[in-house]
Chain A
Amino acid sequence: MAKRQVYYSDFWEEEAEDDNPFAAKAAFCHGYDVYGDILEKATWFEYLYLMFKGERPTKTQAALLEKVAIALANPGPREASVRAAMNGGVGGSTHAASLMAALAVGAGQYGGSHEVFITIKLWGECRFDLEKWKSRLTNPNDDVRADIWLPIEHGPGFDPNGVNCPSVTLQTLKALESIRSGGALTWLSENRVQLEAHLGYPLAISGVVAAALYDLGFNDHQATMLYLILRLPGAAAHTIEQREMGWKKFPFYAENIELINDPGPKGIPNIEAFGL
């Protein structure tokens, strides 16, 4: 008799139906009955918070997480992860492929989830110390060993290509801070201009969201996962739109590409014998 393999989870339990050990008659998330209790009484964001944090959120925490989700839901078709997804929609790739592309590109360090990962770590390290923040934003790489992630090239949470802080970023910061003041969001509001002056470029939406997720108590892994998940709705909607619009209305950049080291035509084989 082969060994029965098991998976361990400290937050999820299931009870099997009497006639089928592979079907659940009840599932429990951190002790709460998901289909008998949560489904009826909780909101999506209360459940999401519970799943990651292990406790029900306060009304303020649930409201803040929901507003973070709205701010992230659609970065718009100019943003790299959404553009990547649209490349799947226009060619009729599978739906999952488009979301995989959104996740893969949205994982990056320029506005992506790994930037949030690094920023959350910095919040844990620098907290509300302006001088520490200034020092770490200009020197964010403290491990020089080779890694799957290249060294980040800018102050995490800020946009090296920005001019002034965009209105939508400021609106997001203000809206989120109005829900939960006194924490990282408030500190960021109060010190944004100094940090921007120090770096020479403005706060980015990734920096605002990292502060909000830090205020919500999410650690680096939790914040990164949520950032990846919560940006997918826009990628999905734009993917479907491009699928319906078709390739004739989608950018095709061939004429924008200039080859500098073109060896020139080398000839094409004669294929008259094949009747072509």
Chain B
Amino acid sequence: MSIKDLLDGEDRLSTTMGKAFLCERAVMRGKDIHSELGHLDWFRMNLFSITGREFSAEQVRLLNYFWVATSYPDPSIWPNHVASLAGSVRSTVSLSMIAGMAISEASIYGRRPERRALDFFYRASASVDNGNSLEMIISQELESRGIIYGYGRPLAKIDERIPHTLKLVEELGLDNGKHFRMALDIYKHLKSRLGLSMNIAAVNTSLVADIGLTVEEYQQFLTPCFVTGMAPCYIEARDKPEGGFFPVRCESIVSDNPKRRQWS
């Protein structure tokens, strides 16, 4: 980047992504939205907007299930909790949903582990292709980073989503991809050596690696996925008395180091 890029971009944007010719037509990635893409369901349209590619019926069904299977309307889950708080204080629908979505770009769950897990499968796969053993790759990852994202789960021991996902994967014939098989091999290794469990991030991202979404594409695809779980949380809190969502009394703020001082 340089000042030349600013001068070049000041009055002109050349794009292949699209343009709205208002009152006439709209184009996305070289296709007329109304005439050429209007037959798509919204989910396929979303994938096309992110990638510019089309996917098989089986791949779309699997990706759709990722969204369905993360639609947990439980207000103890942090992004949902935010939506519930917003409903309880009568904020707007859009503010509530967007706040929850922003919160889901988290480190110990949500978007960061998913990106890291997918990145690991791509790196591990390339390393295997270069002749390295999976055991060595796992050891190196644990040695250098202390963690392999997708293995171990902070809030529960068994990830109930895995059996349902695997059943669907089998039905769809998507269970023989090399990244997915690698994910299972890594689980067996980590389970026997360190007693670690596999969580849904490892399953999903290995399957996504087989589908071929980049890390960036995967996050864009997943970003709204918690919204379906947030909506009922917002609605219920909104319909209950104002401020009534798990109100906290003063003595429920606990300090290990209480102190009083004078400002003089």
> Interface of A with B (CB < 8 Å)?
1-5, 20-22, 76-78, 80-81, 83-84, 87-88, 90-94, 96-98, 100-101, 103-112, 114, 148-150, 152-154, 160-161, 247, 251-254, 256-257, 268-271, 273-276
Task: Assess whether A110 is in contact with B85, with CB atoms less than 8 Å apart.
Answer: no
* Bound CA–CA A110/B85 (angstroms): 11
Selected contact of A87 from candidates B90, B103, B105, CB within 8 Å: B103
Task: Assess whether A253 is in contact with B103, with CB atoms less than 8 Å apart.
Answer: no
The 8 residue pairs across chains A and B that have the minimum distance between CB atoms = A92-B107, A108-B89, A104-B99, A97-B102, A91-B106, A104-B95, A269-B167, A108-B91
Instruction: List 4 extra interface pairs beyond A100-B98, A110-B89, A276-B184, CB under 8 A.
Output: A81-B89, A97-B105, A269-B166, A271-B162
* Bound CA–CA A247/B7 (angstroms): 47
**Known contacts A78-B253, A112-B91; A268/B102 CB under 8 A:** no
Task: Assess whether B12 is in contact with A2, with CB atoms less than 8 Å apart.
Answer: yes
Give the bracket for the number of chain B residues in contact with chain A: 35 or more
> Interface of B with A (CB < 8 Å)?
3, 6-7, 10-12, 74-76, 78-79, 81-82, 85-86, 88-96, 98-100, 102-110, 112, 154-155, 160, 162-164, 166-167, 170, 175, 184, 187-188, 198, 238, 241-250, 252-253
Task: Assess whether A88 is in contact with B106, with CB atoms less than 8 Å apart.
Answer: yes
**Known contacts A97-B105, A252-B76, A257-B75; A150/B90 CB under 8 A:** yes
**Known contacts A22-B3, A253-B76, A269-B164; A93/B89 CB under 8 A:** no
Q: Enumerate 7 A-B pairs (CB-CB under 8 Å) in ascending A order.
A: A4-B11, A22-B3, A97-B99, A107-B95, A271-B163, A274-B175, A275-B188
Task: Assess whether B166 is in contact with A274, with CB atoms less than 8 Å apart.
Answer: yes
Selected contact of B81 from candidates A20, A21, A98, A253, CB within 8 Å: A253
Q: Which residues of B contact A81 (CB under 8 A)?
A: 85, 89
Q: Which residues of A contact B252 (CB under 8 A)?
A: 78
Q: Which residues of A contact B155 (CB under 8 A)?
A: 247, 252
Task: Assess whether B102 is in contact with A80, with CB atoms less than 8 Å apart.
Answer: no
How distant is A243 from chain B, measured CB to nearest CB, in Å?
A: 9
Task: Assess whether A107 is in contact with B107, with CB atoms less than 8 Å apart.
Answer: no
**Known contacts A110-B88, A274-B184; A3/B11 CB under 8 A:** yes
Q: Which residues of A contact B76 (CB under 8 A)?
A: 252-254, 256-257
How distant is A71 from chain B, measured CB to nearest CB, in Å?
A: 15
* Bound CA–CA A107/B249 (angstroms): 22
**Known contacts A78-B248, A268-B163; A101/B90 CB under 8 A:** no
Task: Assess whether A109 is in contact with B90, with CB atoms less than 8 Å apart.
Answer: yes
Among residues of A, the one whose C-beta sits closest to the C-beta of B244 is A161
Task: Assess whether A253 is in contact with B85, with CB atoms less than 8 Å apart.
Answer: no
* Bound CA–CA A25/B224 (angstroms): 42
Task: Assess whether B86 is in contact with A108, with CB atoms less than 8 Å apart.
Answer: yes
Selected contact of A253 from candidates B75, B89, B95, B154, CB within 8 Å: B75
How distant is B3 from chain A, measured CB to nearest CB, in Å?
A: 6
Q: Which residues of A contact B163 (CB under 8 A)?
A: 268-271, 276
Q: Which residues of B contact A101 (CB under 8 A)?
A: 82, 99-100, 102-103
How distant is A161 from chain B, measured CB to nearest CB, in Å?
A: 5
How distant is A267 from chain B, measured CB to nearest CB, in Å?
A: 9
Q: Which residues of B contact A247 (CB under 8 A)?
A: 108, 154-155
Task: Assess whether A84 is in contact with B99, with CB atoms less than 8 Å apart.
Answer: yes
Selected contact of A276 from candidates B11, B112, B166, B250, CB within 8 Å: B166
* Bound CA–CA A171/B221 (angstroms): 50
Among residues of A, the one whose C-beta sits closest to the C-beta of B188 is A275
Among residues of A, the one whose C-beta sits closest to the C-beta of B79 is A87
* Bound CA–CA A112/B88 (angstroms): 11
* Bound CA–CA A7/B109 (angstroms): 41
Q: Which residues of A contact B184 (CB under 8 A)?
A: 274-276
Task: Assess whether B167 is in contact with A271, with CB atoms less than 8 Å apart.
Answer: yes
Selected contact of B93 from candidates A148, A160, A253, A257, CB within 8 Å: A148
Task: Assess whether A90 is in contact with B78, with CB atoms less than 8 Å apart.
Answer: yes
Selected contact of B246 from candidates A105, A153, A253, CB within 8 Å: A253
* Bound CA–CA A97/B105 (angstroms): 8
How distant is B15 from chain A, measured CB to nearest CB, in Å?
A: 14
* Bound CA–CA A105/B162 (angstroms): 33
How distant is B197 from chain A, measured CB to nearest CB, in Å?
A: 9
Task: Assess whether B238 is in contact with A150, with CB atoms less than 8 Å apart.
Answer: yes
How distant is B85 from chain A, measured CB to nearest CB, in Å?
A: 5
Among residues of B, the one whose C-beta sits closest to the C-beta of A97 is B102
* Bound CA–CA A110/B245 (angstroms): 12
Task: Assess whether A268 is in contact with B99, with CB atoms less than 8 Å apart.
Answer: no
Among residues of B, the one whose C-beta sits closest to the C-beta of A269 is B167
Q: Which residues of A contact B167 (CB under 8 A)?
A: 269, 271
Task: Assess whether B107 is in contact with A91, with CB atoms less than 8 Å apart.
Answer: yes
